[in-house]
Each structure stands twice: as C-alpha cells, then as structure tokens.
C-alpha cells in the first residue's frame, strides 16, 4: 500500500499482485466458466494453444501474463497483448451443435470474466494482506478497470464504483449455471488433472481443498462441493499462516511470478517474438 500526502492509505493494482494469491486460481477459473457461454467457449475451443490439458504451461503463462500486463503494464504493452489475445479469441465461436451460443469477442462475456478476476483479487487480498476499509476498497476498485479494458470491455461498461460493481455482480449471478459437462471439466482443473499423474495425485487433493475454500457459496453449490465448518477452520488457519509469511517477504518475492512474467513480456516485445 502506498500513502498519499494526506496520510490516507491508497490501495493500488500493484498491491494486489500477491503471488500466493494464485492458490485461488482454480477457484477463479470456476467462477468465470460458471456462466454457460464462457464455460462452453472454453470446453469446446479448438484453439490448441489455449487448451490447458494439452498445453498447460503455455496456457498458464498466457493467463498469468494477461493479469500481469493488465495490472502492472503500460498502455502500449496492454495494446500489444490485446492484439495477441484477440487473434485467439476471434477463433472461439459457437457452432450449430453447441448447447449455448457464445463468442469470445463478446464484450459482455469479457466483462463477466474481468469481474470474476477483480472479485478474486479483492477476496484474496483481504485474506492474505488484511481487511480493507470502504475507502481502500473504492480506491483499489477504481484502479482495477484494466482487467477488462485490456481486452474488448469499453471503459463505459466497467461499473463506475464499487457499489455499482456489486449491483452488476448480484444481477450477473442469475446467469450462473454449471451443467455436468462443464462441471467435469472444472473438476479436472481443481484436482490438477492437466499435470502428469504423479504430480496431480500428490497436489490434486490440496488444490481441491483450497479451491473449495476460495469459492463463494453459490459457485461451490454449483460444483456440488461439500464444505464443512471443520474444513473452513482448517482453511482459515492455513490462510493465516500464509499471510504471516506473505506480509514479511520482500516485495519482489511477494510479486513473483507476475514480475517475472512482465519482464518476459517486455523481452518478447523487444525481440519481436510472439506474445501468446
């Protein structure tokens, strides 16, 4: 957090770039894909580079670099990444056999995805860095619009303040519905099914646990994931332990891997290499 000359704290995009927040990554993917048009757009996508089960490293790098450039990059860097991602998004459209209609270039769907990303950043920041005052939440929210506007979301579409965002969010929840097809796909992500079997067997149960803990109840119910008070207590203890470490490490360590991915993006730009 930075401090203005008035002495009031200011929470910025940079403050939210806590690498440990990636523990909530699978939960945020579930939230995004809980809207059927987004879920089926991902499940049915024929873009090979975007398939986490075929190209897990590249897919993860693309997503995390997007977050890094949206939150920490310059306007020119965001524009360059927008062009690169758009080349993939234009290929993702529903067909006559698709259960729902979708188009990855739809600004409304991108707004939903960006809203999930913002909600995830805010929730994990609260958990790992401490509670936020109403003023801090508002300051952070105003700084986070590039999560959507880095792609096709127009600035006028981003809710103007945190209260407007909450109204948008509550209304958008009416469109949340996860069917068996998307649920199975998301379950495989939650248990790290895209990793080699020894790694998924070792890490999958832990990731399923933290994923369930980070999910808001509505999404947890859609995924049919049980969550007991005892599990909540275990989750809370784990988050307190991680928070104790996160708040004490140097900033470059705290921001990893976002800072490394932004460095790599800038290197690729200088060398004229593909960004996605």
Span 132-137, average pLDDT: 88
pLDDT of residue 5 exceeding 70, the answer is no
Confidence of residue 35 (pLDDT cuts 50, 70, 90): very high
User: What are 158-203's pLDDT values in tens digits?
Assistant: 999 999 999 999 999 999 999 999 999 999 999 999 999 999 999 9
Mean pLDDT of 12-35: 90
Q: Which residue has the higher pLDDT, 13 or 221?
A: 221
Q: Which two tokens stand for residue 273?
A: 């290499």
Q: Is the pLDDT of residue 80 over 80?
A: yes
Prediction pTM value: 0.92
CA distance 171 to 191: 30
What's the pLDDT score for residue 183? Answer: 98
Q: Are 245 and 4 a contacting pair, CB within 8 Å? A: no
Domain parsing of the chain, residue ranges: 2-265
Residue ranges in 34-104 assigned as alpha helix (H): 36-43, 56-72, 75-89
Q: Are 152 and 105 in contact (CB under 8 A)?
A: yes
């Amino acid at each position: 957090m930075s401090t203005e000359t008035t002495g009031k704290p200011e929470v910025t995009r940079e403050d939210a770039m806590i690498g440990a927040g990636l523990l909530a990554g699978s939960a945020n993917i579930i939230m995004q894909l809980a809207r059927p048009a987004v879920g089926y757009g991902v499940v049915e996508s024929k873009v090979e580079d975007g398939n986490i089960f075929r190209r897990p490293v590249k897919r993860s790098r693309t997503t995390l670099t997007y977050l890094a450039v949206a939150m920490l990059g310059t306007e020119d860097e965001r524009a360059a990444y927008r062009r690169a991602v758009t080349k993939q998004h234009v290929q993702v459209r529903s067909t006559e056999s698709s259960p729902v209609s979708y188009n990855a270039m739809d600004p409304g769907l991108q707004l939903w995805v960006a809203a999930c990303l913002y909600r995830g950043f805010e929730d994990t920041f609260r958990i790992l860095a401490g509670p936020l005052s109403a003023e801090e939440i508002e300051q952070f929210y105003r700084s986070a619009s590039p999560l959507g506007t880095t792609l096709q979301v127009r600035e006028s579409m981003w809710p103007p303040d945190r209260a407007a965002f909450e109204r948008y969010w509550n209304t958008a929840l009416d469109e949340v519905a996860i069917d068996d097809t998307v649920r199975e796909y998301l379950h495989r992500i939650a248990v790290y099914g895209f990793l080699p079997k020894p790694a998924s067997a070792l890490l999958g149960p832990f990731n399923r646990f933290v994923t369930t803990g980070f999910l808001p109840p509505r999404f947890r119910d859609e995924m049919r994931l049980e969550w007991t008070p005892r599990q909540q207590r275990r989750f809370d203890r784990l988050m307190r332990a991680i928070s104790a470490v996160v708040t004490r490490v140097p900033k470059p360590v705290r921001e990893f891997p976002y800072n490394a991915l932004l460095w790599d993006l800038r290197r690729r730009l200088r060398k004229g290499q593909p960004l996605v």
